[in-house]
């Protein structure tokens, strides 16, 4: 980290995590020049789901929940940004405090619960940027008290299809009671059928991806892969936060309920990624998320089977220059290894990761 980044982090860490998050959004909204110079390298370009990504690194959902700063995020060096999760109606989420830093582990536990301003507010912002360049995905979810959660996803598809480069169906947050049950095969089959029908009826047909949890056993992964293939979903995002608690250095905070993200998630999420690649085959798109905090980590996700990678938590600890540093590191690696395309790395360590135990 630069001296400026360290000072900024020190300042933000004097505030509680949710306040600090709001301050970082406000800074980006004001156009503060907080990122590194964007690296442009043809060897980093990746075409996935018919979309041409300038580089394979994206901002994961959860940071820009209300689609306030997608273009500012792209300006930090990301090849794409994913906004949301957005639910049809505004909701406050779970009671505060609900975000906990595990500084020694470079991790975070959150139990936010899809707090967001709802479809109408996000649609207004996304409509205002229509026609601009840059790949912006929209992550859609269901309201906690909805009587028809699948209907909420249908409404999300209909509402955001005209504005989204791609849509993500998020059924893997651990912080909305019962949501992860939608990963079970029968419910998942109905959800995906209705989502794809909603896309077919929409005024635009962006790719649809499914975001899954890392806390799945092999049989559950097999069921998800079968439904994704049968319903012709365009890809899978692996993975959301985990309810497991691997060996952590932080004490009290580690006992908080919610989803764990950051460095401790890398191992399990990468194993699940590789196993899903094995199940889905080489053609379907996979985005790898979980513990990406360096060029090496991003490249390893690709070697484990990812077409694209995303990060979020690591920026809390490494600052807004991190995406620029990672992308520049990818370009240097491609130069050193004389790669024609970063895609040449994909699946290089697939068998190694897929053979590791999930427990």
Q: What confidence score (pLDDT) does residue 322 get? A: 94
Are the CB atoms for 261 and 313 separated by under 8 Å?
yes
Q: What angle do CA 214, 187, 86 make, to 5 degrees?
A: 65
pLDDT in tens, 234-246: 999 999 999 999 8
Using alpha carbons, list the distances in angstroms from residue 176 to 58, 115, 213, 235, 261: 25, 10, 13, 23, 17
pLDDT in tens, 68-95: 999 999 999 999 999 999 999 999 999 9
> CA–CA separation, 21 vs 105, rounded Å?
19
Q: What confidence score (pLDDT) does residue 3 get? A: 61
* Residues of the chain under the 50 pLDDT cut: none
Are the CB atoms for 273 and 44 separated by under 8 Å?
no
> CA–CA separation, 127 vs 160, rounded Å?
9
Handedness of CA 131, 72, 242, 301 (dihedral sign): positive
Q: What confidence score (pLDDT) does residue 358 get? A: 87
Task: Mark residue 302 as left, alpha or beta (left: phi above 0; alpha: psi -120 to 50; beta: remaining).
Answer: alpha
Q: What confidence score (pLDDT) does residue 37 get? A: 65
Contacts of 192 (CB under 8 A, 6+ apart): 169, 210, 227, 228, 231, 233
Q: What confidence score (pLDDT) does residue 39 get? A: 80
Question: φ and ψ at 74, to 5 degrees?
Answer: -60, -35
Report the chain's terminal Cα–Cα distance, integer Å.
Answer: 34
Q: What confidence score (pLDDT) does residue 2 get? A: 62
The neighbour count for residue 156, using CB atoms within 10 Å, is 29
Helix ranges restricted to H, 288-358: 295-303, 313-318, 322-336, 350-354
Which residue in the block uniquely carries the two structure tokens 């070697």?
303
Q: What confidence score (pLDDT) does residue 43 get? A: 98
- Show which residues are catalytic: 173
Going by C-alpha positions, the residue among 160, 169, 151, 301 that lies closest to residue 235 is: 169
Tokens of 214: 């890392």
Contacts of 180 (CB under 8 A, 6+ apart): 171, 172, 173, 174, 213, 215
> CA–CA separation, 291 vs 277, rounded Å?
18
Which residue in the block uniquely carries the two structure tokens 């306030």?
68
Going by C-alpha positions, the residue among 155, 11, 175, 38 that lies closest to residue 93 is: 175
Going by C-alpha positions, the residue among 144, 232, 149, 219 that lies closest to residue 191 is: 149
């Amino acid at each position: 980290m630069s001296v400026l980044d360290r000072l900024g982090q020190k300042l933000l860490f004097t505030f509680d995590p949710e306040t600090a998050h709001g301050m970082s959004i406000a800074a980006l909204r004001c156009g503060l020049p907080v990122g590194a110079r964007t690296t442009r390298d043809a060897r980093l370009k990746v075409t996935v789901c018919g979309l041409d990504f300038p580089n394979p690194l994206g901002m994961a959902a959860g940071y820009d929940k209300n689609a306030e700063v997608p273009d500012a995020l792209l300006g930090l060096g990301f090849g794409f940004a994913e906004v949301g999760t957005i639910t049809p109606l505004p909701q406050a989420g779970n009671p505060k405090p609900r975000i906990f830093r595990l500084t020694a582990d470079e991790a975070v536990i959150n139990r936010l619960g899809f707090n967001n301003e709802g479809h109408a507010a996000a649609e207004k912002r996304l409509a205002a940027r229509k026609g601009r360049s840059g790949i912006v995905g929209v992550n859609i979810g269901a309201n906690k008290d909805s009587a028809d959660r699948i209907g909420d996803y249908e409404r999300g598809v209909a509402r955001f299809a005209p504005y989204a480069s791609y849509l993500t169906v998020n059924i893997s947050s651990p912080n909305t009671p019962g949501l992860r049950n939608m990963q079970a095969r029968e419910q998942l089959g109905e959800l995906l059928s209705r989502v794809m029908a909603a896309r077919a009826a929409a005024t635009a047909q962006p790719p649809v991806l499914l975001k899954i949890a890392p806390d799945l056993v092999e049989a559950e992964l097999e069921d998800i892969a079968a439904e994704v293939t049968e319903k012709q979903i365009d890809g899978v995002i692996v993975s959301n936060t985990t309810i497991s608690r691997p060996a952590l250095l932080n004490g009290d905070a580690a006992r908080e309920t919610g989803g764990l993200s950051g460095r401790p998630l890398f191992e399990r999420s990468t194993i699940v990624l590789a196993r899903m690649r094995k199940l889905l085959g080489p053609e379907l798109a996979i985005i790898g998320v979980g513990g990406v905090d360096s060029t090496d980590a991003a490249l390893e996700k690709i070697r484990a089977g990812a077409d694209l990678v995303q990060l979020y938590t690591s920026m809390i600890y490494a600052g807004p220059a991190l995406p620029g540093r990672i992308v520049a590191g990818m370009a240097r690696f491609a130069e050193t290894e004389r790669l024609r395309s970063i895609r040449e790395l994909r699946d290089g360590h697939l068998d190694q990761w897929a053979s590791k135990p999930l427990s």
